[in-house]
Amino acid sequence: MVKHFETRRGVFRAVNGVDVECAPGTITALLGPSGSGKTTLLRLIAGLEEPTCGRVFFDNEDITSLGVQERDLGFVFQGYALFKHMTVAENITFGPRMRKMGIDLDAKVEELLKLTGLTGLGGRYPPQLSGGQKQRVAVARALACNPRLMLLDEPFGALDPLVRKSLRRGLREIVQQVGVTTIIVTHDQEEAWDLADHVVIFNKGVIEQRGTPEEVAREPASPFVMNFVGDVNHLPSHCQLVRKMGFHTDKPYVMCRPSDLSVYTNFEEAPHAAPATVHDKANVGRVVRYYLRFDDGVDVDFAVSRRVDEERYDMDVGQRVFVEAPPSRLMGFDYPELDGTAVVA
């Protein structure tokens, strides 16, 4: 799939040759920074944009030439787009009524209200609902026409973190119960990891990596993916830790995840580790974060759960420690490789 836009600066390559396949009944997350192409691809799938080249298939049916209404889709967008002058029930049945589906609308409403945890709210109007309730009404409305595919574009962006987490769990249960194939666009990694069976990482209009959340987190395919997914430390490639670990790269910098560091308080436990000093310590909710400074002045973050810290570490500022990192978990990079800016040529 390719989608280029003409701009005053040149050709904006929003989607620049990607191929995505979604297995039936699964949730696929399109994940990437702003301008990486994920929302444009969603709009191409929906028929809201015409591709520069490429085709869209549902199973073996080419639906590229079909309009939005003919594609049998359900939509949930960040703003929900509920009709304020209609009740919840009327919002849910809007699609079936427009399509003249000839179903029992009252039964459909009750079914979807129960499915989305909104039983008894069918007579309310959107301004009378909380943000989380509006989001569930939007999901119910998207499911009312029994879509072949459900598309969600940053559906939790307008909600506070606690509500988002609760609704993510609910959405996954709904999708699994209904069995509808779902594509969600997000820039929130936690959201993608909570919801998706399959993750597609976008950068500059192309796909950097695809796989299960576990595969992408465990084996990032590029410096961009490793830097984008999760916390990382950036180190000079000639620094003490990198040299001690025997890691060699022709790149000027090296990345490692705080979770991949092993920290020892006794030299005998790790005689080949790099010595460091606990420079600072912070309690961040359920996590304790240490800031370690090596003898060459390079700093790294090291984070553990509060329970693990109490059982194993409980280190003091100024304490000497010894740090290791598996060479297989280190990655050389240069900063231009981490740039997520879309390409204009």
pLDDT of residue 190: 85
- Give the helix ranges, DSSP H, for the chain: 38-46, 88-92, 94-98, 105-115, 131-143, 161-178, 189-195, 213-218, 223-228, 240-244, 306-312
pLDDT of residue 257: 94
Question: If you average pLDDT over every residue of the chain, what do you get?
Answer: 90
pLDDT of residue 125: 94
Cα–Cα distances in Å, from 171 out to 35, 71, 95, 194? 26, 22, 20, 10
Span 189-224, pLDDT tens digits? 888 998 899 999 999 999 999 999 999 999 999 999
Evaluate whether 72 touches 52 at the Cβ level (below 8 Å): no
pLDDT of residue 161: 64
pLDDT of residue 149: 94
User: Residue 201's closest CA among 218, 186, 180?
Assistant: 186
Q: What percent of the chain has pLDDT over 70?
A: 96
Phi, psi (deg, nearest 5) at residue 290: -105, 145
pLDDT of residue 341: 54
Span 230-275, pLDDT tens digits? 899 999 999 999 999 999 999 999 999 998 999 999 999 988 999 9
Give the mean model confidence (pLDDT) for residues 48-69. 93
Q: Which pair of structure tokens corresponds to residue 120?
A: 């008894």
Span 55-64, pLDDT tens digits? 999 988 999 9
Range from 117-121, 164-168, 169-173, 183-187 carrying the lowest mean pLDDT: 164-168
Residue 324 pLDDT class (50, 70, 90 cuts): very high
Evaluate whether 180 touches 150 at the Cβ level (below 8 Å): yes
pLDDT of residue 340: 61
Structural domains of the chain, ranges and CATH numbers in brackets:
2-226 (3.40.50.300), 233-335 (2.40.50.140)
Phi, psi (deg, nearest 5) at residue 150: -110, 130
Range from 104-118, 158-172, 265-279, 288-302 carrying the lowest mean pLDDT: 158-172
- Give the up-direction half-sphere exposure of residue 77: CA atoms within 13 A in the CB hemisphere: 9
pTM of the entire structure?
A: 0.86
Range from 97-101, 158-162, 304-308 carrying the lowest mean pLDDT: 158-162
Q: Which residues of 200-239 are buried (b: 16+ CB within 10 A; e: fewer)?
A: bbbbbbbbbbbeebeebbeebebbbbbbbbeebbebebeb
Residue 345 pLDDT class (50, 70, 90 cuts): very low
Span 128-180, pLDDT tens digits? 998 888 888 989 999 998 899 999 998 776 566 666 777 787 888 888 888 99
Residue 343 pLDDT class (50, 70, 90 cuts): very low
Q: Which pair of structure tokens corresponds to residue 94?
A: 């809007």
pLDDT of residue 274: 96
pLDDT of residue 76: 87
